[in-house]
Amino acid sequence: MATVWMGVLALEPVAGALPQRHLLTRATAEGLMAAMGAQLARFLPPEHDYGFVWSAALYDPAQLLRPGFPLHQELGNLFLAGQRAGVAAGHSLTLCERDGKMPTALLEPDMAIGGGTLFTIPVAITGSEEAIAAATERLEIDLYGQGLADAAIVFELARDLGLAFEHVRLMSLLDLSAMMAAQLEHVGFSFAWELIEELLYGAPPRQLEVRTPLGQALKLDDGAVWLSFLPYSLYARQNSGLGDQRLNEYVAQLHEFRQVQGLLAAHGISVRVRLPQADTGHACSRQNDDFVIESLSSNAPVRACLHEAAGLGAVALTLVDAAGAVVEHRYPLSAAAIERFRDEARLQQWPIERLGRVVLSDDGEDLAAPQPSDLRH
């Protein structure tokens, strides 16, 4: 494994602006290599030899801030591989697209995440352990106050990406972590950063348990984060005092639950679902972390009803038997779960009725299924 200092070029476009693409052209990448290497070299101790390697693509910060920092490790490992092929220890290496693809799968921008206001280009400095220790001491201090990118770098990035920028600056990965921590604290998700930070920098990670603003429990244990999940029937019984507001409050919790799932997944963190610790009144199981399944009957289902909530989408699927009785409720736990259920429904020949709302039993204690209507697939 390579010994590297891990840094980024952080790009903040003007408000509302988005890049036309996430891969820099080869011509721009090759032209930027000397300028970026020269700016970083101004901060490096002259008594050591250093190599410079970077990936000419834009990434969401979460893709860089994953346990083990796999993207930066890939940069270092590819530089070592280049040395075996003749790249000198003090040379620079640019990793850029060819035919629309990056050199390795790890260097491909993860387009399933993002949508934020900050983009990052990963850079790494290579050298001996002594050299990297000396470089880290200077870079972590000097870049904080002097890291604004040179004008030539900003100009080439703006021209190639079709963007205007508020700021473009070099910073360490530690500084990027601090920035992400501040952003998550601003939106009320500092609890999630506690878990992310422990998995990034804990050696080894400690066991931690935190709670969301809505009181949901998350536990870091054995390298994975466990989220407690409540089916509506259990939530309704535990919160009988909320009356008619139970459903609205449950949907709010489910929305928060999915936000947490998405955030942790963006950081490459294994997310597991913990089943209720209290009696649900029904048999409750987990299916490959795709669904929490609440079983009410052993009868064979013949159709399914999709409960939906505004701003959230799918809440649950209720399977119904030939007599119209509920067989089970399935609560999807991943974005791909619904598509997999559709595949299963086609195979089993279950029609799926989109309800367009959440249908409750007469007493409001559980999800329910209306009588068959005009089915829409």
The residues spanned by each domain of the chain are 4-171, 190-274, 283-354
Q: What pLDDT does 228 receive?
A: 85
Q: What pLDDT does 144 receive?
A: 86
Q: What pLDDT does 281 receive?
A: 54
Q: Could you give the CA distance from residue 373 to residue 371 in angstroms, rounded to a whole number?
A: 6
**Alpha-helical runs (H) found in the chain:** 26-41, 61-64, 70-84, 129-146, 151-161, 173-186, 190-201, 232-238, 246-266, 337-348
Two tokens, residue 342:
């559709």
Two tokens, residue 230:
């409540």
Residues of the chain with pLDDT under 70: 1, 86, 88-89, 276-289, 372-377
Q: What pLDDT does 333 receive?
A: 85
Q: Could you give the CA distance from residue 249 to residue 228 in angstroms, rounded to a whole number?
A: 16
Q: What pLDDT does 12 receive?
A: 95
Q: Could you give the CA distance from residue 305 to residue 82 in angstroms, rounded to a whole number?
A: 56
